[in-house]
Structure 1
């Protein structure tokens, strides 16, 4: 499942690409170590272009999970976009142009098995020190739901940020279970929730209320409740195998390609041309 036609129309609307356009192939959706701030450069004289392109890219994330983190980052500056934000947007558009054929591979499965991967990047926002959370829900081996979002409050530790991210993922799983039930397709329970933070998992499994967790919002204990109801089960996953990681931070294109089998994403390599030529994994690794 791809949005090739929509992507082509989006790139045409950007006005950046012509037959003579030459640009360096970007290795990431946004520049590595990019830290965008509010009003860190001159304000755009006409912000409508920026807002329009970010809105179009947001729709593209319906089949492009690798764009979710970059789009949610750029969406934070819709009110007063600056020159630096526009430069980051143009970088993302070049990345989209280079990977226009990427999409989803939806495969059949013998059983209706839901899996959910939850992750967060602690204090990722340089302006507010809020964390960025992300989750991916798969049905069989195909992703059916994902999100990258900055958390609404500051977390005092990485464990707390992961715990809040797990609550968001758990709520999404509960909704999907109800949706599938209405379609007479009840999934196998309990649903496995994969997390790479052992401290956050300990908070979920330990029902004792103590000084270290009393400041966490009550709604964040949602995951613990679903665990007790046998709706969810927790399983630790190594960080290198954490699928939701690409929704919380920047990754080089090579790393995203490596994660693609887990996300059931794919590249139509025979159709994808970059800068009038084909790329190899070795070339991408160097970018």
Structure 2
């Protein structure tokens, strides 16, 4: 008997059901309705800030509404857009500048940016860098967070596209930023993995140990990517 793949995403009282067999989806919805009296919203269009659109070409996933609300909330909706999410030559540390008196605003902003990386891998590295200083942010860190806001202002509807005609070839790309953290002297691993032309997973994370050379940092990044694959 052939097994049909089914996926369930549950958050409190919101449920997403995914399966190539529509008959089984209907059976599951009927079973849930008999037990809990659910409200069927039809094809997936919006879920936890994610906007999903589909057609014969594939599925697109963005957080445009979430991004615009974030820009409105932070008064950056009319700001001048930035071309990059951060200055690549910048190295952040705990003693970069004066500490912020109220760190709650910084924590909220970085938390919202981290959630935005679900569909915006292009800000993953910059956001990862700023998330290291949630306990001791400075004015420089806040300015860097504001630059990310200016960057996403340029294209608030940018997101991911999963092609319906994409091949099943798995491709991985990896790199490392040697001694990216001047406080701990640890490097950062970055990778992205594609299924055909569709980006399916990515990460930017500080390495757990100190690499004594850029080559060692590259090998550690390659090992992490291999494990992910």
Matches within 5 A, 1:34-49: 34-49=90-105
Q: Distance in 1 between matches of 2:171 and 2:89?
A: 30
* Alignment check: 8 A CA contact 1:122 1:161 kept: yes
Q: Distance in 2 between matches of 1:32 and 1:137?
A: 22
Q: Which runs of 5+ in 1 are unaligned?
A: 174-287
Deviation of residue 99 (structure 1)?
2.1
Q: Report what 2:202 is aligned to.
A: 146
Q: Report what 2:213 is aligned to.
A: 157
What's the TM-score, normalizing by structure 1? 0.56
Q: Distance in 2 between matches of 1:165 and 1:114?
A: 18
Q: Report what 1:66 is aligned to.
A: 122
* Alignment check: 8 A CA contact 1:39 1:81 kept: no
Are 2:10 and 1:10 equivalent residues in the alignment? Answer: no
Count of residues in Structure 1 that have an aligned counterpart in Structure 2: 169
Q: Report what 1:87 is aligned to.
A: 143
Matches within 5 A, 1:70-149: 70-109=126-165, 111-149=167-205
Are 2:53 and 1:53 equivalent residues in the alignment? Answer: no
* Alignment check: 8 A CA contact 2:167 2:197 kept: no
Q: Which runs of 5+ in 2 are unaligned?
A: 1-60
Structure 1, residues 224-274: CA drift from partner, whole Å, max 9, x if none? xxxxxxxxxxxxxxxxxxxxxxxxxxxxxxxxxxxxxxxxxxxxxxxxxxx
Q: Distance in 2 between matches of 1:2 and 1:22?
A: 21
Cα RMSD, aligned residues only: 1.5
Q: Distance in 2 between matches of 1:99 and 1:31?
A: 18
Higher strand share: 2
Say which SS state the counterpart of residue 143 (structure 1) adopts.
strand
Deviation of residue 42 (structure 1)?
1.5
Structure 1, residues 116-140: CA drift from partner, whole Å, max 9, x if none? 1111122222222211111111111
Higher helix share: 1
Larger radius of gyration: 2
Deviation of residue 113 (structure 1)?
2.0
